Amino acid sequence: MNPTEMTATQLVEAYTTRELSPVETTTAVLDRIDEIDGSLGAYCYLDRKTALEQARASESRWHADQPQGLLDGVPASIKDIFLTAGWPTLRGSGAVDPDQPWTVDSPVAARLRSDGMVFVGKTTTPELAWKAVTDSPLTGITRNPIDPRLTAGGSSGGASAAVAAGMGPCAVGTDGGGSIRIPAAFCGIVGFKPTHGRIPMFPASPFGPLAHAGPMTRTVEDAALLMDILSSPDYRDPTSLAPPQTTYRSAVHREVTGIHVAYSPDLGFAFVDPEVAQIIEAAVTLIENAGLNVTAEDPGFPDPLEAFDILWSSGAATLLEKMPGARDTVDPGLGRLWDQGKRHTAVEYLQARDVVAQVGIAMGAFHERHDILLTPTVGIPAFEAGHDVPPGSGMDHWPQWATLSYPFNLTQQPAISIPVGTTAAGLPVGLQIVGPRHADDLVLAVAHFVEQLLA
């Protein structure tokens, strides 16, 4: 099999049996990037020399039967939001000076490095990861491997495009309002936003309690393996959680038949394209027939868009105010968000936090009755690249079409997107699986169950 088409789990099996080496895999991934990324724009930084050095070191460990970690020698990309020692972290912004020492690993980069994974490069992000598509004045437009005329989604669109196009089986993204799950749905891969604090982040995100880090892979099993690597606490993140009580790679195979599942087609307030709705309905019917107790029920909270907008714009303004020269280079849409955030008062911010608390309480009560919530990940398929909102939609900012994802950043719950079908035009559709806070293992187990059911 072509290494660029293999999952991380398959690659480790091939390393174990000596059917394949990390050097062969890394070379194939780098060649694949050279071949196709010019038309996709998934990567903003490549380091062939370092990648091959790391692959050779991994190959030596495998030859000695002493792998360093769970995914030793597996190529990984890192979103250009995470500090990575030796590489610039420009965050899609022309206001960040690349000519400075880059000596610090974020917790994500440090965990991947200690596991022995091979660092291929950094993936693109919109400026400061501010929106749910991926383009910036610095890196241009990132396109969807399924159809390059369309967006890959965002803000982890580079990561999603890389995984979907065979340019590395593992990526790590960030998610402040859907930024892992949306591009995963648009590109037809798995994207998991764990409970807030499960994967530590440093420096602290300006979007604060909305911001999560998580794996983006081809399979749920690979996502679980990455969770085991990434989930150790880090003192630099005071919100990071204690170590997990179990391994995610074992929990992903737990029995889930008989659990109580709620299905909400639109959360009671989101627009969902009829074709997307039909594909999700078909998947939910299969899930019910396979032994899960499915009930149609909305969670019962009103659309918290206004509260999200206040928190999101306030975070953007807080960061941009500290970036000299940003006003001269900023993405125009981010500039408007900056201005909006500067107008909000502390009272308005705290009032928005109160709305967040009420949504969280509503979801807590909901999960007293239902173990899991199912929804579409995004109500629409991928749309034309180069636009923040679907052309002709009448919308003026991205959260208006990301209605199904941002509520669960407010509540900090674990939520995953897995592909469950395609439209008549061949565009992927994602199913979102949401669990109670700290039930990351259950969300992964249900996602794996559904993935196997639809295989």
Instruction: Find out whether 378 and 279 touch, Cβ atoms under 8 Å.
Output: no
Determine the Cα–Cα distance for residues 126 and 385; give it in Å rounded to an integer. 13
Instruction: Enter the tokens of residue 253.
Output: 């195979």
Instruction: Enter the tokens of residue 360.
Output: 């969280």
136 part of the active site? no
Q: Catalytic pick from 93, 136, 179, 314?
A: 179
393 part of the active site? no
Determine the Cα–Cα distance for residues 273 and 278; give it in Å rounded to an integer. 9
Backbone φ, ψ for residue 108 (5° rounding): -60, -50
In this structure, how many other beta carbons lie within 10 angstroms of the beta carbon of residue 273? 15
Q: Catalytic pick from 58, 155, 240, 405?
A: 155
Backbone φ, ψ for residue 48 (5° rounding): -60, -40
Instruction: Enter the tokens of residue 84.
Output: 């990575």
| Amino acid at residue number 350 | L
Q: Catalytic pick from 21, 79, 156, 405?
A: 79
In this structure, how many other beta carbons lie within 10 angstroms of the beta carbon of residue 446? 27
Closest by Cα among 131, 121, 126 to 50: 121
Determine the Cα–Cα distance for residues 179 and 123; give it in Å rounded to an integer. 13
| Amino acid at residue number 422 | T
79 part of the active site? yes
Residues taking part in catalysis: 79, 155, 179
